[in-house]
Structure 1
């Protein structure tokens, strides 16, 4: 079993929709346990996306995720360059706004894919995003992962693979 790299929407969508902090403590306790064991990790760019709102979710993350949870992506630059080259090669398909958003160095998506690509046999991305290869105004993580043979699954599928309940 490898590690699961969680996207920012893993936290945001769970908190806003399915597993609010004030209702679903079992979910959040499981997330904390998985983070402490290193089963799930994320990247510095996701941390930046989560830590810019000064809300309850940010507070929970700061209080419950270990320091080593958010991995530094500086060592993934060669893989990032491959992901960026892939996106640039799709300029016939995607609208300029979609490419600009994906190529923005402040956005996490390309970096999370690069981090997974650095060890694609042992890293799986976990995201609520769904594949939509015909979409032209947004580059979706699962669509990029497919071209790089990176596994990308939804959070509930991760819990099933781990045989966890909450």
Structure 2
């Protein structure tokens, strides 16, 4: 399974439960999983994180994502399929979105289109299902479901890939 991570996964992990400077094992593990091909981040989503605060010394996540080794490990090396992207927007959100609505959606359709591009992919997002939301307000899990893309939250992702703070010592006995 290839896990495609949303920007909110990294941002929330750093801000809430795995700060880069307090739980470095998580970030080492994430980069390692990326280098092994289990975790990737599409360029458009990477740009969401990178477009954050410009003062890298104040934002450790920004500095971490800019590190050449981390970037190489996590960046998905493919281009989005424009037909899939159009399909996600038209069928996952609405076929007649205004320019303002498209701006509000942001880069989520890219993430979902990459999820559709091949079998065995799972979108990882912090967003939770809210099926009553419509048009530009739809949440990633609901659009994934509509498009037939597997989706999970960060905790299921961490569990399925076996994250633990002593991950380098081998499997838990």
TM-score > 0.5 by shorter chain:
yes
The list of structure 1 runs, each at least 4 consecutive aligned residues, that deviate by more than 4 angstroms after superposition, is: 95-100
Alignment correspondent of 2:5: 6
- The alignment status of 1:113 with 2:106, answered yes or no, reads no
Q: Retained in 2: the 8 A contact 1:6–1:125?
A: yes
Deviation per CA, 1:133-165: give whole Å up to 9, x if none.
Answer: 113472210000111121110111012112332
Deviation at 1:12, TM superposition (A): 0.4
For residues 46-85 of structure 1, the aligned pairs below 5 Å read 46-52=45-51, 53-54=53-54, 55-63=59-67, 64-67=69-72, 69-71=74-76, 74-85=79-90
- Cα contact 1:73–1:111 (8 A) shared by 2: no
Q: Is the 8 A contact 1:36 1:66 kept in 2?
A: no
- Alignment-derived partner of residue 104 in structure 2: 101
CA-to-aligned-CA distance 1:50-90 (integer Å, 9 cap, x gap): 11222321111111414263235634111101111112248
Cα displacement (A) at 1:27: 1.2
The reply on whether 1:17 has 2:48 as its aligned counterpart is no
Give the 3-state SS of the residue equivalent to 2:41 in structure 1: strand
Structure 1: stretches of 5+ with no match in the other structure = none
Q: Which segment drifts farther, 140-149 or 130-139?
A: 130-139
Q: Deviations over 1:2-53 (max 9, x none)?
A: 2000000111000111111121112111111111111100111112111122
Is the CA contact 2:80–2:110 (under 8 Å) kept in the aligned structure 1? Answer: no
Q: Give the C-alpha shift of residue 112 in structure 1.
A: 0.3
SS state at 1:134 partner: coil
CA contact (8 A) 2:21 2:60 kept: no
- Closer, same or farther in 2 for the Cα pair 1:68/1:159, shift >3 Å? closer
Residues 19-58 of structure 1: pairs in structure 2 closer than 5 A? 19-52=18-51, 53-54=53-54, 55-58=59-62
